[in-house]
Amino acid sequence: MAALIGSLNLVPPPSLSPLPSLVPHNSSKWRRFLSASAPRTSLSPPQCSSVAELGEGLGRVSAVALLAASLFFADPALAFKGGGPYGAEVTRGQDLTGKDFSGKTLIKQDFKTSILRQANFKGAKLLGASFFDADLTGADLSDADLRGADFSLANVTKANLSNANLEGALATGNTSFRGSNINGADFTDVPLREDQREYLCKVADGVNPVTGNSTRDTLLCN
């Protein structure tokens, strides 16, 4: 029996060579494995000297991907710009016809491309809010704080802007205020197209109760 055992070849074939983690610490293979510290630029099988090294390389790639994903989902600012107290996904590109936002604090709220017909923003704080390309037909924006708000390309026809403060708001592009009530509204530093300015000067009246500025003066009417 001893002779039979001695005659057996217990050395595994080359394709099944032991993993580096199973090689004794004093072996030359183990020393070569520990000294292999140079970064690898490819994980293709021909360049991996062992299954352990391939697993280590794949682990590093997975860790980087996981870190990038965690940063993306942890910071909503990386997913979208704007937002506000409701989050952009709630008010951006939505049909919010007739919705009541009166008296609410909506600083920097994102209403881009939303339908806001007859929506109620009376007395709301909308500093820096975005109404880019939104439809505000018939909306109530009276007494609202709209400083720095973006009305670029917005439809603000037949809206109620009485006593609203629009200081520094944007109204570039095809923004229209046709048919809107602007009595007491403050348009200080609002970049209006000349045709819009001329139209608004024809209907402008009143003084803003907060700033004390005449609507006509803020529109630079003659």
Identify the CA nearest to 176 among candidates 162, 199, 155: 155
> CB atoms < 10 A from the CB of 203, how many?
14
How far is it, in rounded angstroms, from Cα 217 to Cα 140? 23
72-93: pLDDT as tens digits: 333 333 233 457 777 776 899 9
How far is it, in rounded angstroms, from Cα 128 to Cα 120? 18
How far is it, in rounded angstroms, from Cα 175 to Cα 171? 6
Residue recorded with tokens 């690898």:
40
**pLDDT of amino acid 72:** 34
Residue recorded with tokens 């003084």:
207
Residues of the chain by 3-state class (helix, strand, coil), percent to 5: 30, 10, 60
Structural domains of the chain, with CATH: 70-222 (2.160.20.80)
**pLDDT of amino acid 84:** 76
How far is it, in rounded angstroms, from Cα 158 to Cα 176? 10
How far is it, in rounded angstroms, from Cα 93 to Cα 30? 60
Residues above pLDDT 90, as percent of the chain: 58
pLDDT band at 71 (very low <50, low <70, confident <90, very high): very low
Q: Say whether pLDDT at 113 is over 60.
A: yes
Q: Say whether pLDDT at 27 is over 80.
A: no
Asked whether the beta carbons of 158 and 180 are under 8 A apart, the reply is: yes
Which of 45-72 are b and which e, b meaning 16 or more Cβ less than 10 Å from the residue's Cβ? eeebebeebbeebeeeeeeeeeeeeeee
| Mean pLDDT calculated for residue range 63-71 | 43
Q: How far is CA 35 from CA 28, 30, 54, 129, 170, in A?
A: 11, 9, 16, 58, 62
161-173: pLDDT as tens digits: 999 999 999 998 8
